[in-house]
A and B are shown apart, each in its own frame.
Chain A
Amino acid sequence: MVPSDAARVPDTRPPILLAEDLRKSYGPRPALQGLSFSSQAGRILGFLGPNGAGKTTAIRILTTMLEPDAGHFVVDGISSEYPEEIRRRIGVLPENLGFPRQITGIEYLTYYGQLYGRTKTESRAYGLALLDEVGLLQRARSLVGTYSHGMRQRLGIARALVNDPSVVFLDEPTLGLDPRGQQELLSLVQRIAQERMVGVVLCSHALSEIEAVCNDVIILLSGRVIASGSVSEVVGQTQRNVLRVQVPSPSISRARQVLKALPSVMKVAPTDKVAGWLRVELVDVADGGSSKAYQFNNKLLGALIRAKIPILGLEAEGGRLQDVFLQLTEEAIK
């Protein structure tokens, strides 16, 4: 499900969303310290960061809900000096969006369609089409108060699309959803970006979902950008010469001895997070390229197999966004 960046060619189109040196402070506390990035139509940009990193502040500024102290941004060619015009071009699903309970789904979308200048008939027709798109057509005439959390999130996405926006901002859209609901919603987000050719900014705590659906990622910490680029570029920024091996708990000490004896291994130690996992630091293989890394992996596995130690799992540390995020945020905090 990871979007491929291998086939990515340099994009000469003007960015659909461009931010330059956005800054914001709440009193003496800086919330955003020079956020700059650009995003293209049809691509999904993920905003990552721990609590208080400045993600929501960034979203609020980009959606004109908050005025930046400095910097400016452009949405679909419209400068941030024209917030009303920008609001015509963006769709937003805010975090914890509330809904009036005594209103049906179609009434809700018709109302918002009218606020964007459509006639009632146009709004209703478009609202029904959007409900169909997000899979809520059958519940169009039900009160929003009777919707489940997942249905409300999908209605929120339909609301974000009611003005046929150029850029869609989704702030924690999967929060509180069950795994199936999360997967359905993320598929919907991908479909929206690809079929409608809109720029999507997805703000989330869930690293796996950013990795699964985003093309680009920005990692924020204390209002600063600590990493940005395509997902593969950001993942490539971290060390990749560490493996994690899972063996049965009684075999841990023997596995350590076997692995330590290998010439390519620098250090072996149990991970401090999950029992049964060993963290294996290898000599630097960056110069040798990926084929050399695979050879090391094979040697390591071969040694364990020869010692008749069952291998329950094997993964490369630093190969996932989660590792990058933890490593970068840890380094930045230090």
Chain B
Amino acid sequence: MSDATIRLKDKRIVADSRVKPSGSAVPTWWLVFIRELADLWIGGKALILTLIYSLVLGIMVYVLASSEELSLIPPKELAYEMLKNAMAVSLFIGLIIGADSLSGERERATFESLLLTPVSRRQIIAGKFLAGLSFWPAALVIAVPYLQVLAQGDEVLGPTILWGALLGTVLAVAYTGLGMLASFWSNTNKTSYFLSLGLYILFLVPAQLPGRAQTGAAGQFLQWVNPLAATNHFLSKHLVNYEPLSLYWPWLESPVVFAVLVLGLLFLFAGPGLRLEAGRSSKFWSRLARKVGLAVIVCGMVSWGASTVMASREEQSKEGDLQISIDVGYRIVKTGDKVEFNTVVTNNGTEASHPLIVAMNVINLDAKGEVVDPEDWSPQRTQYMESLAARQSASQHWIINTILDGNYMVYMVLIPAPDSQETTSQPVTSSGIHLTVTPFTRLNPGGVLPYAIGGPIILLAALVLINRLRRRSIDLGSSK
């Protein structure tokens, strides 16, 4: 008979000796995970947060659909905006759940009981971390109908969900872990929430900088180093502007590095030192390790950022018989569609050209039509080139997002860079693309209303149902 075997004695079950793990017992991290999951989802906290989340998404989708100005935005950009906001809200909730995971137990005096078990501290962290992560998949599933209604059948829906799931998971790992680290170093939820909120706001700051600050070298670096801003930049370039992935892979470095660092800190540093009081014991090496860990984060971010900025600078690039051609003559499309075309610049001369600049312009052919703001039509309207050798050609790829219906001419201008401040040069113009844009049925606010209201109502019903099912399985007697 094994040590864990139980036998009946005097109406009481007495264990044969001290309990030892039996072969059929499940891993303890799994037990902690299931318990935490039940506390989060059956206890109601996560369900209420989910309800709030769906309400926020409902309000967002209605605002996006009903605003006259915003309705000019093409579906893919609307879908991107919704994904960006859904990620921001759900990451905040993940951060809050992580921030409550350890300090909340300290505050409620339930932590000591758990720490008194022989379960390894790392397994406790693993179980709690996975439970904290459980909000993100639910948030993504809830966001899908909203993304679908805003995408209006556009092909962007699939990639939006796919990239959202992939990058959202990386960020959810990082943010939930970050919340847990804040909780690890806090004795009360007040402290850990405050710390988490501060970190969250810190990550939002780069997006709030003035336009120039965001586009300069320092601004680019700040955006790159910020995992949330870098992810959004990548998503906007890929989903909205259809930029090739190869150009923007480096923007995914910071979210991935950030997630790996947070996980490393959580499981290698905080996990083994988990104790009843906040932080690790006050021994010298642990304090040193904490400082080294933080220094690693900072140095890592700085070095990766610097390398990326340098790399992006390297990416960036005389006159004679210069020529520019376009591979499209006309196109009939509807508002919100994407038009892609290529230009070829050729140097027919016998000498190398100056450095060259190729610029795009869009003109409304209808004198009474809306004035075109080319910025809205294409975020990248200028491309710079190094000088072209004699009898050499170079091609460029362009994308236009059709914003308004009407008749338009898109044409390219090739400008040789002037030699000095006192000289000028002769631009060369391409043939134009005659673009006929037909109106797209505007997103009807009435159409999105069922989604805006339906989501929260369905979740509320789920909350009530879960609560009822739970009440059926328990006694509801008062204390005696």
Which one, B19, B24, B109, B476, contacts A164 given CB within 8 A?
Answer: B19
Asked if B39 is at the interface (CB within 8 A of a chain A CB), the reply is yes
A111 — which chain B residues lie within 8 A by C-beta? 31, 35
Bound-state Cα–Cα, A220 to B35, Å: 39
Q: Quick one: CB contact mask for B16-39 with A, threshold 8 Å, 1 for yes?
A: 011111101110100110010011
Asked if B4 is at the interface (CB within 8 A of a chain A CB), the reply is yes
Which B residues between 38 and 64 are near A, CB-CB below 8 angstroms?
A: 38-39, 42-44
Given contacts A67-B281, A146-B476, A163-B19, contact A87 B13 (CB under 8 A): no
The answer to whether A165 and B18 have CB atoms under 8 Å apart is: yes
Which B residues between 201 and 220 are near A, CB-CB below 8 angstroms?
A: none
Given contacts A84-B120, A97-B112, A102-B43, contact A146 B478 (CB under 8 A): yes
Bound-state Cα–Cα, A63 to B53, Å: 42
Asked if A310 is at the interface (CB within 8 A of a chain B CB), the reply is no
Binds B, one of A47-55, A135-143, A206-214, A265-273: A135-143
Q: Quick one: CB contact mask for B116-149 with A, threshold 8 Å, 1 for yes?
A: 1111100000000000000000000000000000
Q: Name the residue on A nearest B30 (C-beta).
A: A114
CB distance from B216 to the nearest CB of A (A): 49
A67 — which chain B residues lie within 8 A by C-beta? 281
Bound-state Cα–Cα, A150 to B110, Å: 17
The answer to whether A89 and B112 have CB atoms under 8 Å apart is: no
B479 — which chain A residues lie within 8 A by C-beta? 146-148, 151
B480 — which chain A residues lie within 8 A by C-beta? 139, 148
The answer to whether A87 and B117 have CB atoms under 8 Å apart is: yes
The answer to whether B112 and A116 have CB atoms under 8 Å apart is: no
The answer to whether A63 and B116 have CB atoms under 8 Å apart is: yes
The answer to whether B116 and A88 have CB atoms under 8 Å apart is: no
B441 — which chain A residues lie within 8 A by C-beta? none
CB distance from A301 to the nearest CB of B (A): 47
Bound-state Cα–Cα, A60 to B281, Å: 14
Asked if A325 is at the interface (CB within 8 A of a chain B CB), the reply is no
Given contacts A65-B275, A87-B118, A129-B12, contact A117 B22 (CB under 8 A): yes
Which one, A76, A87, A98, contacts B108 given CB within 8 A?
Answer: A98
Asked if A100 is at the interface (CB within 8 A of a chain B CB), the reply is yes
A85 — which chain B residues lie within 8 A by C-beta? 118
Asked if B276 is at the interface (CB within 8 A of a chain A CB), the reply is yes
Given contacts A142-B477, A147-B479, A151-B479, contact A122 B22 (CB under 8 A): yes
Given contacts A65-B276, A92-B116, contact A117 B19 (CB under 8 A): yes
Asked if A118 is at the interface (CB within 8 A of a chain B CB), the reply is yes
Bound-state Cα–Cα, A103 to B116, Å: 19
Given contacts A65-B115, A102-B42, A117-B4, contact A97 B109 (CB under 8 A): yes
CB distance from B468 to the nearest CB of A (A): 14
The answer to whether B4 and A90 have CB atoms under 8 Å apart is: no
Interface size on A, residues (CB 8 A): 52
The answer to whether A142 and B113 have CB atoms under 8 Å apart is: no
A253 — which chain B residues lie within 8 A by C-beta? none
The answer to whether A117 and B44 have CB atoms under 8 Å apart is: no
Which one, B6, B108, B115, B476, contacts A122 given CB within 8 A?
Answer: B6
Bound-state Cα–Cα, A76 to B11, Å: 27
Given contacts A114-B31, A146-B478, contact A125 B6 (CB under 8 A): yes
Bound-state Cα–Cα, A312 to B473, Å: 58
CB distance from A103 to the nearest CB of B (A): 8
CB distance from A3 to the nearest CB of B (A): 23
- Most chain A CB within a 10 A radius of its CB, from B24, B470, B474: B474
Bound-state Cα–Cα, A87 to B118, Å: 5
Which A residues between 24 and 77 are near B, CB-CB below 8 angstroms?
A: 60, 63-67, 76
Asked if A159 is at the interface (CB within 8 A of a chain B CB), the reply is yes
Asked if B15 is at the interface (CB within 8 A of a chain A CB), the reply is yes
Bound-state Cα–Cα, A104 to B35, Å: 12
Given contacts A122-B6, A125-B13, contact A88 B113 (CB under 8 A): no
The answer to whether B15 and A141 have CB atoms under 8 Å apart is: no
The answer to whether A126 and B25 have CB atoms under 8 Å apart is: no
Which B residues between 166 and 224 are near A, CB-CB below 8 angstroms?
A: none
Q: Secondary structure of the B side of the interface? A: loop
Asked if B14 is at the interface (CB within 8 A of a chain A CB), the reply is yes
Interface size on B, residues (CB 8 A): 49
A143 — which chain B residues lie within 8 A by C-beta? 474-476
Q: Quick one: CB contact mask for A108-144 with B, threshold 8 Å, 1 for yes?
A: 0001111111110010011001001100000101110
B4 — which chain A residues lie within 8 A by C-beta? 117-118, 122
The answer to whether B15 and A126 have CB atoms under 8 Å apart is: yes
The answer to whether B475 and A119 have CB atoms under 8 Å apart is: no
A141 — which chain B residues lie within 8 A by C-beta? 473-475
Asked if A4 is at the interface (CB within 8 A of a chain B CB), the reply is no
Which one, A88, A98, A147, A148, contacts B18 given CB within 8 A?
Answer: A88
The answer to whether B43 and A166 have CB atoms under 8 Å apart is: no
Which one, B15, B26, B108, B476, contacts A114 given CB within 8 A?
Answer: B26
Given contacts A115-B31, A122-B4, A147-B479, contact A94 B15 (CB under 8 A): no
CB distance from A327 to the nearest CB of B (A): 34
CB distance from B172 to the nearest CB of A (A): 24
Given contacts A88-B118, A97-B112, contact A164 B474 (CB under 8 A): no
B12 — which chain A residues lie within 8 A by C-beta? 129, 132-133
CB distance from A129 to the nearest CB of B (A): 4
Asked if A251 is at the interface (CB within 8 A of a chain B CB), the reply is no
Bound-state Cα–Cα, A146 to B4, Å: 32
CB distance from B274 to the nearest CB of A (A): 11
CB distance from A131 to the nearest CB of B (A): 11
A165 — which chain B residues lie within 8 A by C-beta? 18
Bound-state Cα–Cα, A60 to B22, Å: 28
CB distance from B125 to the nearest CB of A (A): 15
The answer to whether B112 and A94 have CB atoms under 8 Å apart is: yes
Asked if A239 is at the interface (CB within 8 A of a chain B CB), the reply is no
CB distance from A123 to the nearest CB of B (A): 9
The answer to whether B18 and A87 have CB atoms under 8 Å apart is: no
Bound-state Cα–Cα, A148 to B478, Å: 9
The answer to whether A146 and B25 have CB atoms under 8 Å apart is: no
B25 — which chain A residues lie within 8 A by C-beta? 114, 117-119
Asked if A294 is at the interface (CB within 8 A of a chain B CB), the reply is no
CB distance from A268 to the nearest CB of B (A): 50
The answer to whether A118 and B474 have CB atoms under 8 Å apart is: no
Bound-state Cα–Cα, A102 to B41, Å: 11
Bound-state Cα–Cα, A87 to B124, Å: 15
B14 — which chain A residues lie within 8 A by C-beta? 164
Please name 11 pairs of A and B residues whose Cβ atoms are closer than 8 Å in the assembled complex, sorted by A. Answer: A63-B116, A66-B276, A89-B18, A94-B109, A97-B110, A98-B113, A102-B44, A115-B31, A115-B117, A118-B19, A139-B477
Given contacts A87-B116, A119-B25, 8 further A-B contacts (CB under 8 A): A84-B120, A85-B118, A87-B118, A98-B109, A117-B22, A118-B25, A122-B4, A165-B18
